[in-house]
Amino acid sequence: MIFTKSKSKLVTVLIHVLAWAVFGMLLFFFQPLTWNVSLPYQLWIKQNIIFGLLVVTFYLNSEIIVPLFLLKNKTVAYFLIVVGVATIIVLINGYVDEWLKLPQLMDAAFHKGGPPHRHHDPHREWEIGMIAPMIGTCALVLGISTSITVMEKWQKDRIIHQEMEQDRISSELSFLKAQINPHFFFNTLNNIYALTHINVDTSRKAIHQLSRMMRYVLYDTQNATTHLSQEIAFVKDYISLMQLRLTDAVKIEFNSPNALKDMAIAPMIFLPFIENAFKHGVSATNPSSIDISISQHNSVVDLLVVNTVIKEQNNNLEAGSGIGLNNTRRRLDLLYPGKHTLKITEDAAANTYAVHLTLDLS
Secondary structure of the chain in the HEC alphabet?
CHHHHHHHHHHHHHHHHHHHHHHHHHHHHHHHHCCCCCCCHHHHHHHHHHHHHHHHHHHHHHHHHHHHCHHHCCHHHHHHHHHHHHHHHHHHHHHHHHHHCHHHHHHHHHCCCCCCCCCCCHHHHHHHHHHHHHHHHHHHHHHHHHHHHHHHHHHHHHHHHHHHHHHHHHHHHHHHHHHHHHHHHHHHHHHHHHHHCCCHHHHHHHHHHHHHHHHHHHHHCCCCCEEHHHHHHHHHHHHHHHHCCCCCCEEEEEECCCCCCCCEECCCCCHHHHHHHHHHCCCCCCCEEEEEEEEEECCEEEEEEEEECCCCCCCCCCCCCHHHHHHHHHHHHHHCCCCEEEEEEEECCCCEEEEEEEEECC
Question: 352 and 248 in one domain?
Answer: yes
- pLDDT band, very low/low/confident/very high, at 339 (cuts 50, 70, 90): very high
Total of domains in the chain: 2
Question: 207 and 66 in one domain?
Answer: no
Question: 300 and 158 in one domain?
Answer: no
Question: 236 and 341 in one domain?
Answer: yes
- Identify whether 273 is part of a domain: yes
Instruction: Give the rounded percent of residues in the chain with a pLDDT score beyond 90.
Output: 20
- Identify whether 148 is part of a domain: yes
- Identify whether 287 is part of a domain: yes
| pLDDT tens, position by position, 24-42 | 776 666 555 556 666 777 8
Residue-level pLDDT at 5: 54
- pLDDT band, very low/low/confident/very high, at 322 (cuts 50, 70, 90): very low
Question: 24 and 73 in one domain?
Answer: yes
- Identify whether 176 is part of a domain: no
Question: 252 and 145 in one domain?
Answer: no
pTM over the 0.85 mark: no
Question: 258 and 149 in one domain?
Answer: no
Question: 241 and 117 in one domain?
Answer: no
Question: What is the C-alpha separation between 318 and 123, in angstroms, rounded?
Answer: 88
Question: 341 and 283 in one domain?
Answer: yes
- Identify whether 13 is part of a domain: yes
- Identify whether 171 is part of a domain: no
CATH of the domain at 311: 3.30.565.10
Question: 105 and 203 in one domain?
Answer: no
Question: 101 and 39 in one domain?
Answer: yes
- Identify whether 185 is part of a domain: no
**Residue finishing a domain among 103, 138, 163:** 163
Structural domain for 45, as ranges: 2-163
Mean pLDDT computed over 134-146: 87
| pLDDT tens, position by position, 67-108 | 999 999 899 999 999 999 999 988 888 888 888 887 777 666
Question: 268 and 123 in one domain?
Answer: no
- Identify whether 173 is part of a domain: no
